Homo-oligomer: A and B are copies of this chain.
Amino acid sequence: MSGTTATAGQRADMVRNRRLLLEAATAAFAEHGVDVPIGEIAQRAGLAKGTVFRHFASKEDLLAAIMLQMLDRLIDSADRLLGADDSATALREFMSDGVEVLAADRAFCEVIGRPSLQHAEVRDRIAQLCDAAEALTSRARERGAVRGDITGTDVVLLLGGIHQTAAPLLPVQPQAWRRYLALALDGLVATDAGPLPEPPPARLEIAEPTTPS
């Protein structure tokens, strides 16, 4: 499925270093956000700064590789939950997983929330995530577990929103996101309420053609 490995005729230490580098970068980005210096990533991996650029052409490419990794994990999670018995708890579990991932990774929050930071490939993967979420949501919708006008894109967007709601409390109450996830779910099932305005696009494809003057 996720074919980012491609270990063809590479030297042994190179594949080892690449693995170390990805692990170090994942941790560093999660902890400090996208602004973490390349030097610190290299240091965490026990390598020199130049080695980073031998594996990834730019910092953006390294970030994109890791974001794709995170997104693939979420997509896999959604696909797996699609086979669950109870579609309502499946959707709930998907959202719970998603918010938890966001809470543990600063760079992921920053990239998801700001389209201007996204590689083209990352945008594609986000669209795939919307599709997977739509499949889950659709099943829950048919069962009447969520109101009729909620889309998969809504669900994906809510992941970021729920985390952001709890984010200022993160140093004090790391689990506060559970409160706002519960609140959002209560809103999602409010079938008696009126229809929601401003339905979002189906696949969350956001172009940014506005190159500033």
Residues of A near any B CB (own CB < 8 A):
112-115, 154, 157-158, 160-169, 171-173, 175-176, 178-180, 182-190, 193-194, 196-201, 204, 206, 208, 210
Contact = CB atoms under 8 A, between A and B. Distances in A.
A149 to B, nearest CB: 9
B182 A197 contact: yes
Contact of A164 (B154, B164, B189, B210): B164
Given A171-B206, A176-B198, A184 B182 contact: no
Given A179-B200, A184-B187, A197-B182, A164 B161 contact: yes
A198 B186 contact: no
Contacts of A176: 198, 200
Contacts of A206: 168-169, 171-172
Given A154-B179, A168-B206, 19 more contacts: A114-B167, A154-B183, A157-B180, A158-B180, A160-B164, A161-B163, A161-B180, A164-B165, A169-B204, A172-B201, A172-B206, A173-B200, A175-B198, A182-B197, A183-B184, A183-B188, A186-B187, A186-B193, A187-B187
A197 to B, nearest CB: 5
Give the interface SS of chain A, mostly helix, strand, loop or mixed: helix
Contacts of A196: 179, 182-183
Contact of A161 (B115, B161, B182): B161
A163 to B, nearest CB: 8
Nearest to A164: B164
B183 A157 contact: no
